Amino acid sequence: MNCMMTDSEVFKEGLAGVPAAKSRVSHVDGTDGILEYRGIRIEELAKSSSFIEVAYLLIWGKLPTQGELEEFEYEIRTHRRIKYHIRDMMKCFPETGHPMDALQTSAAALGLFYARRALDDPNYIRAAVVRLLAKIPTMVAAFHMIREGNDPIQPNDKLDYASNFLYMLTEKEPDPFAAKVFDVCLTLHAEHTMNASTFSARVTASTLTDPYAVIASAVGTLAGPLHGGANEEVLNMLEEIGSVENVRPYVEKCLANKQRIMGFGHRVYKVKDPRAIILQDLAEQLFAKMGHDEYYEIAVELEKVVEEYVGQKGIYPNVDFYSGLVYRKLDIPSDLFTPLFAIARVAGWLAHWKEQLSVNKIYRPTQIYIGDHNLSYVPMTERVVSVARNEDPNAII
Ligand X SMILES: CC(=O)SCCNC(=O)CCNC(=O)[C@H](O)C(C)(C)COP(=O)(O)OP(=O)(O)OC[C@H]1O[C@@H](n2cnc3c(N)ncnc32)[C@H](O)[C@@H]1OP(=O)(O)O
Ligand Y SMILES: O=C([O-])CC(=O)C(=O)O
Residues taking part in catalysis = 266, 320
Q: Which of residues 255-294 bind ligand Y (CB under 6 A)?
A: 266-268
Residue among 125, 319, 325, 351 that touches ligand Y (CB under 6 A): 319
Please check whether residue 287 is in contact with residue 326, taking contact to mean a CB–CB distance below 8 angstroms.
Answer: no
**26 binds ligand Y per the rule CB under 6 A:** no
* Nearest residue (beta carbon) to ligand X: 265
Within 10 angstroms of residue 392's Cβ, the number of other Cβ atoms is 11
Residue among 14, 39, 94, 393 that touches ligand X (CB under 6 A): 14
- As measured in angstroms, the least distance from the Cβ of 278 to ligand X is 14
Nearest-angstrom CA–CA distance, 172 and 237: 30
Of 38 and 192, nearer to ligand Y (C-beta) is 192
Surface-to-core class of residue 34, CB atoms within 10 Å of its CB (0-12 exposed, 13-18 middle, 19+ buried): middle
Of 14 and 371, nearer to ligand Y (C-beta) is 14
Of 159 and 237, nearer to ligand X (C-beta) is 237
SS3 293: coil
CA atoms within 13 A on the CB side of 21: 29
Q: How far is CA 163 from CA 53, 77, 168, in A?
A: 15, 12, 9
- As measured in angstroms, the least distance from the Cβ of 34 to ligand Y is 13
Residue among 77, 131, 144, 192 that touches ligand Y (CB under 6 A): 192
DSSP state string for 160-207: -HHHHHHHHHHSSPPPHHHHHHHHHHHHHHS--TT-HHHHHHHHHHTT
Q: Which of residues 260-279 bind ligand X (CB under 6 A)?
A: 260-267
DSSP state string for 119-175: TT-HHHHHHHHHHHHHHHHHHHHHHHHHHTT-PPPPP-TTS-HHHHHHHHHHSSPPP
- As measured in angstroms, the least distance from the Cβ of 322 to ligand Y is 13
Measure CA of the first residue to CA of the last residue in the chain; give whole Å.
47
Nearest-angstrom CA–CA distance, 72 and 81: 16
Exposure string for 295-309, b = 16+ CB within 10 A, e = fewer: bbebbebbbebbeee
> How many residues in the shown chain lie near ligand Y by CB under 6 A?
8
If contact means CB under 5 to 8 A according to the sort of partner, which of ligand X, ligand Y, none does residue 220 touch?
Answer: none
**310 binds ligand X per the rule CB under 6 A:** yes
Tell me which stretch binds ligand X (CB under 6 A): 73-81, 104-112, 159-167, 313-321.
Answer: 313-321
**315 binds ligand X per the rule CB under 6 A:** yes
- The site string for ligand X over 208-247 (x = CB under 6 A, - otherwise) reads ------------------xxx-x-----------------
- The site string for ligand Y over 194-213 (x = CB under 6 A, - otherwise) reads -x------------------
- As measured in angstroms, the least distance from the Cβ of 250 to ligand X is 12
**343 binds ligand Y per the rule CB under 6 A:** no
Residue among 22, 62, 313, 383 that touches ligand X (CB under 6 A): 313
Q: How far is CA 267 from CA 9, 38, 89, 194, in A?
A: 19, 21, 38, 11
Q: Which of residues 58-77 bind ligand X (CB under 6 A)?
A: none
Q: Which helix (H) or strand (E) holds 29?
A: strand 26-29
**106 binds ligand Y per the rule CB under 6 A:** no
- List contacts with ligand Y (CB under 6 A): 192-193, 195, 266-268, 318-319
- List contacts with ligand X (CB under 6 A): 14, 195, 226-228, 230, 260-267, 310, 313, 315, 318-320
